[in-house]
Structure 1
């Protein structure tokens, strides 16, 4: 797969609202799209924001960053999404506002053009019927190469629905606790990964493990592992997984080896945790 592949991302754009009063651009698919644009991959990002100040800020920030905003829908009825973040023992927890604009992504003109190539989505965006149905329609295309980014946020997920998305995927990324929550839990992580990988007939299953690094199981059943680079000052871990995902997708598009992709993805995630929020607005950060 080369970087000339069409690249589409579907999902939430919102604001992460920290206890310090800072509001930071976020939403896993938004973060991944932002990073991929900076890495030179020209993603099309399908989302929906409110006709409000936060929505206008998202559009103007994307514009300033040089991103394509044509597939961002404007919603006059629902507000731009927000997440209240609380941090306890260095671990963030998230409270998502209900009935946000991103819950109502429609099969608009930009979204319904025949998609091809690489398609990324998370599992959270399908929590509401409208966005669920749109995603269902978009992913009907059997020629899409689908990357599913599992993000289990209670109470916004059901196992049967997540399994439905996983059955369509070529690549799946999730963290170790999500692997267990989806029913793949024994005393042996490699066995759990093998069971999930074969159950869904994936090309690659990517499991992130926080400070322990990450593991990938490939089509041959081989495991590839990476440990984090030297421990730098952690400001916050919000968006570390999204940074990892973006660099991993970049590597898939560029046909890097799994080892190279894993190492670069892990190193990039380690850099993102040294700053507040999930993205950087400094182009030099991506060099």
Structure 2
């Protein structure tokens, strides 16, 4: 069995925009960018037994992404999200349910994958936990990875697809938490955290024992709390094409740089640069080269 440094778990779907339809889902986007950066990555998800699912598989193969762990559900359709642009370059989403990725089942192959991932990373989100079937599978896989693995929660609080109790459970199972400003604000309300940004992150880190928390802030950059140290990056200014997948690219950049041990400040800078580069290009999985990320980093932040 091939060993993968990163396993991404969760939704695989079509993003349906007013003018185009794109392959999407945060786990797939993260897997795409890591694979493009030469990090061995695979994806656990589900598609329907339909044309939409078959087209997604074809695209994953074009992306050179492994598809061995994509299940075909005979009862539920392939996932779809209807997206539209809103204020401040943000996107609004109508996420169809139930769909195939709500019914990901535990398999012996998945179990073997977890146990053979060499000091690897499991990336998952709260959206995939909206349905009991996939949530049980996720919790089972989390239990199979031992203490030298890193659990990465890319929280994705899209109303009405989350529940405070379930989100709290996932927060107890992560070593790295990535979230945006609005998600941090909601957690602050839930857990009565301090208003000050740094103090809020420290309180959240202490409450759930999370060593690394990253908060993205759009065109204002991002902040990082890692092992008690606080870092801030102002972001890179680019002409935005759309923000689809830019947060996922940010996370992939963060993991890439973490795996290569570039240091916290450089890791945050690289993640901001990749997120900005993807925001400057159409779609969540654009073509680009590593040199283009360096080009963004050489601009004035």
User: Structure 1 length normalisation: TM-score?
Assistant: 0.93
- Residue aligning to 2:184: 179
Cα distance in 1 between the residues matched to 2:272 and 2:113: 33
Cα distance in 1 between the residues matched to 2:11 and 2:195: 35
Give CA deviations for 1:187-239 in whole Å, capped at 9, x if unaligned.
Answer: 311111110011111221111111111001111x221111112x222111111
Runs of 5+ consecutive residues of structure 2 not aligned to the other structure = 293-301
Task: Report deviation, 1:91.
Answer: 2.1
More contact order relative to length (CA 8 Å, sep ≥ 6): 1
Q: Please identify which structure carries the higher helix content.
A: 2
Task: Report deviation, 1:131.
Answer: 0.3
1:19 correspondence with 2:25? no
> Contact 1:11/1:46 (CA < 8 Å) preserved in 2?
yes
Query: Which of 260, 266, 269 pairs up with 1:260?
Result: 266
Q: Report the 3-state secondary structure (helix = DSSP H, G, I; strand = E; otherwise coil) of the residue aligned with 2:122.
A: strand
1:41 correspondence with 2:39? yes
Cα distance 1:26–1:177, how it changes in 2: closer, same or farther (>3 A)? same
- Residue aligning to 1:165: 170
1:121 correspondence with 2:124? yes
Cα distance in 2 between the residues matched to 1:44 and 1:253: 16
After the TM superposition, which of the residue ranges 264-273 and 107-116 deviates more from structure 2? 107-116
Cα distance 1:114–1:267, how it changes in 2: closer, same or farther (>3 A)? closer
Q: Report the 3-state secondary structure (helix = DSSP H, G, I; strand = E; otherwise coil) of the residue aligned with 2:143.
A: coil
1:136 correspondence with 2:144? no
User: In angstroms, what is the RMSD of aligned CA positions?
Assistant: 1.6
- Residue aligning to 1:95: 94
Cα distance 1:211–1:185, how it changes in 2: closer, same or farther (>3 A)? farther
1:191 correspondence with 2:190? no
> Contact 2:4/2:40 (CA < 8 Å) preserved in 1?
no
Cα distance in 2 between the residues matched to 1:273 and 1:257: 24
Runs of 5+ consecutive residues of structure 1 not aligned to the other structure = none
- Residue aligning to 2:299: none
1:226 correspondence with 2:224? no
Task: Report deviation, 1:17.
Answer: 0.5
Task: Report deviation, 1:257.
Answer: 0.4
Q: Report the 3-state secondary structure (helix = DSSP H, G, I; strand = E; otherwise coil) of the residue aligned with 1:140.
A: helix
Task: Report deviation, 1:88.
Answer: 2.0
Q: Please identify runs of 4+ aligned residues in structure 1 that moved more than 6 A.
A: none
> Contact 2:124/2:153 (CA < 8 Å) preserved in 1?
yes
Cα distance in 1 between the residues matched to 2:10 and 2:109: 14
User: Structure 2 length normalisation: TM-score?
Assistant: 0.89
Task: Report deviation, 1:109.
Answer: 3.1
